[in-house]
Amino acid sequence: MSKRYLVQTFGCQMNEHDSERIAGLLESDGYSQTDDQSQADVIVVNTCCIRENADNKLYGALGNMKQLKADNPDLQIMVGGCLAQKDRDLIQQRAGHVDVVFGTHNVHRATELLSDARTNGPITEIWEAADPDDAFPSALPARRELDYAAWLTIQVGCDNSCAFCIVPAVRGEEISRTPNDIVAEAERLAADGVTEITLLGQNVNSYGRDLALAARRAGNQAVRIRPAFAQLLRSVSAVRGIRRVRYTSPHPKDMTAEVFDAMAETPEVMPHLHFPLQSGSDRILTAMHRGYTADRFLTKLAAARATIPDLAVTTDIIVGFPGETDDDFERTLEVAAAAEFDSAFTFVYSPRPGTEAAELVDDFCDPAVVKDRYARLRTVTERSALAKHSERIGRLEEVIVEGPSKKDPSRLTGRTGQNKLVHFDRPDGPLRPGTYARVEVTEGHTQYLMGDFLEVTTKATHRTRIPVL
């Protein structure tokens, strides 16, 4: 029987995708996946540090693994990701049973580090920055979570300095992957039967700025210093077999009309825009260094909706940024209501040591006040979500089938072009995940839609994975 691994992931899509790469590397090394910790020969914890509690969660998870290691001394425990990048040696100091600590820039070293640790004992290896020649180890195998949909990293790192955000410190400066490499990977994915691609980056619409600057430095003065994201959307959409293209996350300050035009003119780019507001108060937006005002945000949003038919818009909002007053918060409520989001990820501000805002201790908001504001904001965002979802009733939507519904396994769940979940019945049994089907929306709820199955529009084409036992 082959050796087994388990990867536990916290955090964003970037981390999920890194976990797929780690899993791919382990599988190339002969490991097979298990869901059962007690069966695992290697456990990888891929950590996140964007909001609070990450450390508690990590050390809680590691505490539980102590006994596993006592029962099976050959078990190897690895900790990677953003918190590992940030805390480094601290992890092995606090949890001596961890074999390998690695960071965000040396994911591709995972299996080498494991075998080093086996012979030489515990290792912490953190790189300060990505190796520019090797920032996108595109040749790395990835074990995709879904066979029919894939993430494609177009850029790593972030050159912004939002006052609340730890990402630039743990993911480093922005490095874009070349358009040729990206399209080549999209082609490989399509050849493998993938029909949906999500382009990933911390700030996707500044994609290509660094490449243009580098070309200029190399003497090519004809290169214009402007982001190339709109063109990239078109190029990836043109890859045969790719039916759906999504991306996350853009930054409102860098969003241009060209991107909206590309979305409108390219049927493969799905009508969904994630547009992180963060706050509706100009004072707070300035303190956050977001680079836009609430008006500017709403104007761009109106332009997006005017250009892209049937656009769904989601957002991120932080409540209780240091110094946020009742007035500031009222503005957030107003702007959130005016923006009519389809859905919102709402967060309570959490100080991340090392960020600018974490220094503003004297301005931290009263947690009870923040709790109350948070609940009020949820009421506003849930109201617009419900209104948006109720508007879908009676519409025919093409969905990509994800599998049995988690709530009610007798139903199927699919995802619409607008990225909404629809739960629906299919009278004559399940459909293979990755199938495209048409459903009629019958109910709109805050987080999902209900629908009736009408017909299969395209059968799934990807190869089914045969588990290695």
Q: Which residues bind ligand 5AD (CB under 6 A)?
A: 50-51, 164-165, 276, 278, 316, 318, 347, 349-350, 352
Among 167, 263, 437, 441, binds ligand SF4 (CB under 6 A): 167
**Residue 14 vs 450, nearer CB to ligand 5AD:** 14
The binder of 203, among ligand 5AD, ligand SF4, none, by C-beta within 5 to 8 A per type, is ligand SF4
Task: Using alpha carbons, list the distances in angstroms from residue 249 to 25, 39, 156, 158, 427.
Answer: 26, 37, 12, 11, 38
Would you count residue 203 as binding ligand SF4 (CB under 6 A)? yes
Task: Kindly determine how many residues on this chain lie close enough to bind ligand SF4 according to the rule CB under 6 A.
Answer: 9
Would you count residue 202 as binding ligand SF4 (CB under 6 A)? yes
CB-based contact 8:43 (threshold 8 Å): yes
Structure tokens at 91: 């992890």
Partners of 401 in the β-ladder: 414
Among 32, 160, 266, 307, binds ligand SF4 (CB under 6 A): 160
Structure tokens at 307: 């250009």
Name the segment binding ligand SF4 (CB under 6 A); options: 77-85, 95-103, 159-167, 291-299. 159-167
Among 22, 43, 45, 162, binds ligand SF4 (CB under 6 A): 162
Residue facing ligand 5AD at closest CB distance: 316
CB-based contact 335:297 (threshold 8 Å): yes
Largest alpha-carbon pair distance within the chain?
64
d(CA 359, CA 259): 36
**Residue 316 vs 425, nearer CB to ligand 5AD:** 316
Structure tokens at 66: 């102590």
Among 81, 103, 168, 320, binds ligand SF4 (CB under 6 A): 168
**Residue 49 vs 194, nearer CB to ligand SF4:** 49
CB-based contact 58:83 (threshold 8 Å): yes
Residues 236-255 that bind ligand SF4 (CB under 6 A): 251
Would you count residue 227 as binding ligand SF4 (CB under 6 A)? no
Q: Provide the CB-side half-sphere exposure for 6 (13 A, CA).
A: 14
Q: What is the contact mask toward ligand SF4 in residues 107 to 146, using x (rule: CB under 6 A)? A: ----------------------------------------
**Residue 81 vs 434, nearer CB to ligand 5AD:** 81
d(CA 19, CA 44): 9
Name the segment binding ligand SF4 (CB under 6 A); options: 56-64, 95-103, 158-166, 420-428. 158-166
Structure tokens at 222: 């004809």
d(CA 425, CA 423): 7
Partners of 175 in the β-ladder: 156
